[in-house]
Each structure stands twice: as C-alpha cells, then as structure tokens.
Amino acid sequence: MGAPMARNLLKARFPVTVWNRTRAKADALAKEGAKVAPTPKALAREVDVVVTMVRDSPDVEAVLFGKDGVLEGALPGLLVVDMSTISPEVTRSIAERAAAQGVHTIDAPVSGGEIGAIEARLSIMVGGDAADMERALPILSVLGKTIVHVGPHGAGQVVKLANQIAVVLNNLGVSEALVFAAAHGIDLEKTRQVIAAGAGSSWAMQNYAPKILAGDFRPGFMVDLQQKDLRLVLDAAFRLHLGLPGAALTHELYNGLQRDGGGREGNHALVKAIETLSGVEARQQR
C-alpha cells in the first residue's frame, strides 16, 4: 500500500522522502524521484509531514518511538499521519505521547485495497484535530477520493474497523450465495449478475465474486491482514462487552484458511471455507 501511495505523491510533484525496513523497496521509489532516508529519525528531520503505513500497532510504535524513530528526529510542529490500521486504544496513546513532544498526529486509515492505492481512489477516515486534518488535506487528496473527518484521535481507527466488519460479512454473504447456487447447478455468472443488479448487491459481489468464479485468489488484501483487523475488532468488542457474532464467526472461518496455508491469499478466499463445509465448489464452468 505504501509504495503506490508514495508514487502518487511523486506524480503530483510533492517532494517525497521515504524509508522502509526493506531498503530495496525504498530504492525502487528512488528511481522515480524519491529521496531515501537511512532511518525514520533522519527522515523526520527533513520533512514537515510524516506518513506511516505499516502492518500493526507494534510496528507503528516502533517506527515512531523506537531507536532512531521519528520522534527522535522530530522538530516541534511535525505532523504524523498514520494511515495504518491499528488499535484505536494504541492510536490514542500515540497521540498523547507525541503531543508531549510537540508533535501533532492524526489517524487516517484507508479502505480500497491495493488497487485503490494504485488508482488514488482510497476512502480515508480521519481521527484527530480538524486543523491537523486540514493541514494534511493536500496530501490526502492525492491519495484518496473520499476523505472524512470522523472525530477525535482514534475515531478513524474505529470507523476503519467498522468498515472491516462490513467487508468480511459481505464476503461471507457472497460466499454462501455462490455455494448455494452451485449446489443447485445454477449458472454462477448469471446468478452473480442478477444479484449484483438487485438488493443483494455489494462491492464484494461486484468485485470479488468474478474472481471467485474464475478461481483467482491473488491478494488485493491478504487473509493474514484481514485476520489482524478482525483481531483488533474482537479485542475492542471484548473490552466493551459487545456481541459481534458475525465478525467472530468469520474470524474462525479465516482461521481454518490460515491453518491450511491460505494466509497470503486474497480475503475473498473465504469462499473456500464455505466450500469445504458444504462439499461444493463455486467456480464458473468454462
């Protein structure tokens, strides 16, 4: 996700300095005009805004507060825009720790997957001070099409996790619908077309179902990452004593895919769990 986002900023003629734990990935962007910093600390000394896009809460904390991290090199007034999907609780803690050093933060997780990042049409949900969002808006506007300030620090992460609940349940609905039709011998592409044109339509039915029918499980968003997000959802639900049976069920189904080596497949591979339970494969016959 981070690489195409940085590439879009370069195309928009922003001066971009990058750092990545895998140096080769940063070097690839250097060929397109980016400057490569040796550490997050060194990067922070050269910019007014730092954008982080990493895997999980501990990764954000390490990049910001670890040895040679951003906060070691930050000047007062630096703005950190975290576009990762992490714990809302950790996000609020990060905001407090950064503010104590005169550093502003917003959480701005995204929805739209790798293709949304490549095509600069991400949906971005922003938590933090409105003034800081306005400061980041020229950057965010290059990366996404829908940018909404949803509340204080951590609110962006809450909305992103709510988005992930909807994503997995839509995936589950598509999976069950296709397997049900396949079990009855119905043409699956015709089934998909008519559902996609009616009340049962969803982004998943329009975009993931064709991949399922073609047997294409290359990831736009991996099962392993979907599971990380669902873990964050269920951890937050546990603290608030919320009942989220759909999210919990889908988490268990994805566990089975990970056990069978499917963690790096696309999250629409959820259909394989339903196929296994049903003994029916939902692929369009050619």
- The catalytic residue positions are 160
Whole-angstrom Cα distance, residue 182 to residue 179? 5
Neighbouring CB atoms inside 10 A of 144's CB total: 24
Adjacent-strand bridge partners of 49: 79
Adjacent-strand bridge partners of 122: 144
- Residue pair 93/57 in contact by the 8 Å Cβ criterion: no
Residue type, 24: A
Residue type, 129: D
Residue type, 180: F
Whole-angstrom Cα distance, residue 225 to residue 34? 27
- Residue pair 47/65 in contact by the 8 Å Cβ criterion: no
DSSP assigned state of 102: T
DSSP β-ladder status, 110-111 and 122-127:
antiparallel
C-alpha closest to that of 16 among 3, 6, 31, 25 = 6
H or E stretch including 158?
helix 155-183
For the record, the structure tokens of 213 come out as 């029918």
For the record, the structure tokens of 159 come out as 């909305």
Whole-angstrom Cα distance, residue 71 to residue 100? 11
Whole-angstrom Cα distance, residue 112 to residue 118? 10
Tell me if residue 127 falls in helix, strand or coil. strand
